Structure 1
Amino acid sequence: MVPTLSSHQPRLSVSAISISAPKLSILLSQGTVHKKTQHLELILSLCNTSPQLMDTMRKQKEEFIFRSKLPDIDIPKDLPLHSYVFENFSKYPSKPCLINGANGDIYTYADVELTARRVASGLNKVLHTEVPSLLLPNPFSTPAELAKQARASKSKLLITQACYYDKVKDYAQENDVKVVCVDSAPDDQCLHFSELTQADENDMPRPEFSPDDVVALPYSSGTTGLPKGVMLTHKGLITSVAQQVDGDNPNLYFHSGDVILCVLPMFHIYALNSIMLCGLRAGAAILIMPKFEVGYLLGLIEKYKVSVAPVVPPVMLAIARSPDLDKA
C-alpha cells in the first residue's frame, strides 16, 4: 500500500519504504502523487534517487506562464541607457523637448542631444571613469547626508547650484572632489558648467558597458528610514521605460504631441524615470517647473497647453483647494 503524501505527513526515511522509479512514474502520470514542488523532498525520501527518477520529476513539474495577447515589447539588450532614450531624437530635431517654466527658454530635441553629448565629452575629460554626483535641487539634504552619499558612491565630481555650494564645499576640499555649478561659480574653487558644455561632442570614445552595470544611484529613504542608494542598471531602467511607453499597449500613453508637466523633483525616481526618461523616449515636450506654487502652475498649464500632468496626491489636493483654481 502506498502512503498518501501530504504537506502535514511526517518525513519517512528511505529505509522505511522504497518505491522504484518506474512505479513512481506511473503514480505521477496517473496523478496519484501530489505534484507540488514542496512535496519533492518528501517524495525523494520514499524513493531511490536515480537519474531516471529525477528526469521524471522535471517532466512532471508544471509551469504557469501568463502571457498577454499583445505582441511582446522589444527590449534592447545591447544599448546603454542614453542610446535607448536618444534613439528617436532624429525624428523630431526641431520639436520642443525641454521647456524652462521659470524663464520660458525652450530647447529642441537637437539642442538637448548636442548639449548632452558635449557634457558627456566634458565629463570624460574631467573624470574619465570616475563617478559624478548631481545635487539639483534638493534643499532638504544636510551637509552630513550629502557627504555620506558622496563617500559611499565614491563621487569625484559634484554638480550643483550656487545656492547649495556651502553644503558640499567642506567635503569637496577635504576629499579632493571637484564641484561644478550650473548657474554661477561662487569662488575660484568651483568650476562653471560651461567647462563641460563647451567640450567637443565628437571627442567622446564609445564606452564599454554591460547591461548590468549601474547607470544611476538615486538616494531614497523608501518612505521611511535614512536615505540609501538604489542601484539601477542600464537594463533595469531601459526595461522600465519600455514597459511604460513602448509596444502596442503601453502603461503610459505618452505621445510626441504631448506637453508633460514636470513639477516633481527629479531626485525622485517618479520624475526621473516616468516623466523625464519616458517623456524623452516618446518625443514629448517636457515643461519643467523648478518650484511648486499653485497659481504659477495653473498659469503654465494654460500657457503651454499641458496635456499630461503627473502629480502626487498632496499636489492635487493643493490645486483642488486653491482659490486660484476658479481664476484659471
Structure 2
Amino acid sequence: MPTESTFPSIPIPDVDLWTFMFERKPEERQYPDDRVIYIDPDTKRSYTYAQVRSVALDFGKGLKANWGWEKGDVLAFYTPNCIDTPAVTWGTHWAGGVLSPANPGYTAEELAFQLKDSGAKALITQKPFLSAAREACQKVGIPDDRIILMGDERDVTGRFKHFSSIRNISGVSRFRKVKLNPKKDLAFLVYSSGTTGHPKGVMLSHTNIVSNVLMGYQGEGGNLSWKGGKDNQGDRILAFLPFFHIYGLTCLVHQALYSGWTLVVMPKFDLERFCTHIQNYRITFAYVVPPVVLALGKSPVVSKYDLSSIRMLNSGAAPLTRDLVEAVWKRLKIPIKQGYGLSETSPTTHTQRWQDWQATIGSVGYLLPNQVAKYMSADETEVPAGQTGELWIKGPNIFLGYLNNPAGTANALTADGYFKTGDVGHQDKAGNFFITDRVKELIKYKGFQVPPAELEGLLLGHPDVDDAAVIGVYNAEQATEVPRAYVVPRKGIEGTKEKERDIMQWIEKKVASHKKLRGGVVFVDDVPKSASGKILRRVLKERVLEEQKKALKAKL
C-alpha cells in the first residue's frame, strides 16, 4: 500500500498566489504590515510586507496599461537574486501572467531556447546581463521595448526602462486583478534539463505553489518564527539559493512572505560574504546545498567568523553524506537536516524533522502532508518497505505536465496522478525515506542539472572529435558530481593534454558555467554502446569505480 504522510493533513485553499499572499484575513497573517521581509545586505535596501504589495500592485497595473498584458502571458526572468524579484513576480500574477525564470549563466543561445519554448512576451533582467539578454530576445523576436531592468543599476541611455517606470504611470485605477483558476492556470514555467539535451518547461499551477508553501511550513514544525529569539527580531534567513531555481523560488521567496521571516538576499553564493552576513545579521537559518556544507566543514575561511547564531541548516538539491553532516557538527556545532524535492513537485516533498536530524542522517526524512508515495520496481509493481525501487509521489503539489511535450508528460505522470520521480531509494520501518541513486542520467553539479546528451551533441560538433559520451563523476573535494567527457579523437589526432584543454575550452564558450567539463576529457578508442546505438554510460561509470578502487589500493 502507498505510504501516507505522518504529518496531519492540511486544508489547501482554492486561491491564486496573489490572494494567498495579500488577501489573507488578519488572523491568518500574524505579522504586521511594516515587517521587513527582504533585505539587500550590500545596498541596505529593503521591502516591508506593505511595500512588496504596493509595488507589486503598481507593476501589475503597469503591465496592463503599457503592454496590454493578458491572462497567460509569460514574463521571463534572466537575473541573479534581487530583492525586486518578489514584487515583480506577484505583480505579474496579479495581471494574470506566468513567470519563467532562466539561469543568468545561460548563453544567449540557451536563453533563446527558453524564451521561444515558453512563448515569453517580455524579459526582465539586470544591466550587466543586457547584452546576452538582448541577443537572445533578437533571436526570438522580442523587441527592445519589452526588455526591462530591475535592481539598482539603470540604463543611462534611457533605451531600456526600469521596472519602476513600468509601474509609475497615471490612470491605472481602472484595471482590476485577473480572475484565475488556481488548479489549472499556470503561475510558473520553470525549466528542468532533460536527458534529450533540451530543457523541459515544468508547468506549475497556483495551487501547486500554494500547497507546497503550506506543506513546507508544516515541515519546519513551527521552529521558525517572525518574532522572538534573543533580540526579539524573529528568524533571519540567508538567501543565496538562486531564485530562478524552484528550491529558492518556493522555499525562500514565497515562504518568507507567507511566514514573515526576514530574508537577507545574496545575488549568488560567496563563502566569505556568506559568513560575513551570518555574523553581521545574526542569521538563524539557511537553506543550503552539499558543497556549502563541505565548505563549512573544511574551509579555513569559516574560522574567522562567528556563526553561532545559526540554529539549523537545511540541505537539499543533491544527496548529503553522513561525513559532511558530522564534520560541520564537530567543528561548528551547527545541526543540518536534509530535505528532498524536484521541480515537478514544486519542490519539497520530504524533510527531516528538526529533532530527528542526528538520528536519521542520510535520510531525506518524512513525507510532507497531503501526499502519498510508493517505491516501484522496474516492472511497475510496488515494493515493500526496505526494498529498493523508484519513488512515485502523488499530491496537490505535483506539476501539470511539460510544456509542448505530451510524450514527456505521459512518461512522467500516471493515469491516477502519480509522478515518477526517476529517483531510486527505499523506506525504513520508521517511515524515513532514503534516496540512493537516479534512474535518470542527469548529472547534478552543485544542484544544477547537466544533461549529458546536450554536451555530447556539442562535442560531436568539434572538428577533432569522432564520438563522445559524458557522465557525472563524483568529486569529493567539491562534494558534487562534475561532467567528464570520454572522447574518441578523429583519426590522426593525438589525445594530448593540449588537446584536452582545447576541447574543454571549446565547450566552455558554448555553455553555462555549471555545464563545463570540470571532470576533464578522457580519450578512448571507442564509446560503449548497445546494439540499438544507445550509449552505455553504466559501463563508463563502472570503469570509473574500478579506477577509484585501484587508486585507493595504491595509497594503502
Q: TM-score, normalised by structure 1?
A: 0.72
Higher relative contact order (Cα pairs below 8 Å, separated by 6+ residues): 1
Which residue, 229, 238, 256 being the options, matches 2:201?
229
Aligned amino acid, residue 227 of structure 1: P
Aligned amino acid, residue 273 of structure 1: T
TM-superposed deviation, 1:316: 1.6
Work out the percentage of aligned pairs sharing the same amino acid: 31
1:75 corresponding residue in structure 2: 12
Asked if structure 2 preserves the Cα contact closer than 8 Å seen for 1:101 and 1:289, the reply is: yes
Secondary structure at 1:155's aligned position in 2? coil
> Within the alignment, does 1:105 sit opposite 2:49 as a pair?
no
- Report the CA distance shift for 1:89/1:185 in structure 2 as closer, same or farther (over 3 A): farther
Q: Distance between the aligned counterparts of 1:223 and 1:325, measured in 2?
A: 37
Aligned amino acid, residue 83 of structure 1: T
1:158 corresponding residue in structure 2: 123
Segment of structure 1 superposing worse, 81-90 or 230-239:
81-90
Q: Distance between the aligned counterparts of 1:220 and 1:162, measured in 2?
A: 26
Give the structure with the higher percent helix: 1
Secondary structure at 1:218's aligned position in 2? strand
Aligned amino acid, residue 106 of structure 2: S
Q: Deviations over 1:214-269 (max 9, x none)?
A: 110112226994422111001111111111115xx656743212111101111111
Which residue, 6, 9, 21 being the options, matches 1:85?
21
Asked if structure 2 preserves the Cα contact closer than 8 Å seen for 1:254 and 1:279, the reply is: no
- Report the CA distance shift for 1:190/1:124 in structure 2 as closer, same or farther (over 3 A): same
> Within the alignment, does 1:238 sit opposite 2:210 as a pair?
yes
Aligned amino acid, residue 195 of structure 1: S
Gaps of 5+ in 1: 1-62
Paired residues, number: 262
Asked if structure 2 preserves the Cα contact closer than 8 Å seen for 1:241 and 1:273, the reply is: yes
- Report the CA distance shift for 1:199/1:220 in structure 2 as closer, same or farther (over 3 A): farther
Secondary structure at 2:287's aligned position in 1? coil
2:76 corresponding residue in structure 1: 133
> Within the alignment, does 1:96 sit opposite 2:33 as a pair?
no
Q: Deviations over 1:31-72 (max 9, x none)?
A: xxxxxxxxxxxxxxxxxxxxxxxxxxxxxxxx98857573x3
1:193 corresponding residue in structure 2: 163
2:260 corresponding residue in structure 1: 283
- Report the CA distance shift for 1:319/1:234 in structure 2 as closer, same or farther (over 3 A): same
Secondary structure at 2:42's aligned position in 1? coil
Q: Deviations over 1:85-111 (max 9, x none)?
A: 233568411111101022222221111
Asked if structure 2 preserves the Cα contact closer than 8 Å seen for 1:243 and 1:251, the reply is: no
- Report the CA distance shift for 1:283/1:154 in structure 2 as closer, same or farther (over 3 A): same
Which residue, 310, 313, 319 being the options, matches 2:290?
313
Asked if structure 1 preserves the Cα contact closer than 8 Å seen for 2:63 and 2:167, the reply is: no
- Report the CA distance shift for 1:313/1:210 in structure 2 as closer, same or farther (over 3 A): same
1:180 corresponding residue in structure 2: 148
Asked if structure 2 preserves the Cα contact closer than 8 Å seen for 1:215 and 1:232, the reply is: yes
1:27 corresponding residue in structure 2: none
1:120 corresponding residue in structure 2: 60
Aligned amino acid, residue 205 of structure 1: R
Q: Distance between the aligned counterparts of 1:164 and 1:280, measured in 2?
A: 27
- Report the CA distance shift for 1:173/1:143 in structure 2 as closer, same or farther (over 3 A): closer
Aligned amino acid, residue 76 of structure 2: S
Aligned amino acid, residue 241 of structure 1: V
2:533 corresponding residue in structure 1: none
Q: Aligned-pair RMSD on alpha carbons?
A: 2.6
- Report the CA distance shift for 1:205/1:287 in structure 2 as closer, same or farther (over 3 A): same
Gaps of 5+ in 2: 81-102, 227-233, 306-556
TM-superposed deviation, 1:187: 4.3
User: Larger Rg: 1 or 2?
Assistant: 1
Q: Distance between the aligned counterparts of 1:230 and 1:121, measured in 2?
A: 27
4+ residue runs over 6 A deviation:
none
Secondary structure at 1:309's aligned position in 2? strand
Secondary structure at 1:215's aligned position in 2? strand
Asked if structure 2 preserves the Cα contact closer than 8 Å seen for 1:101 and 1:288, the reply is: yes
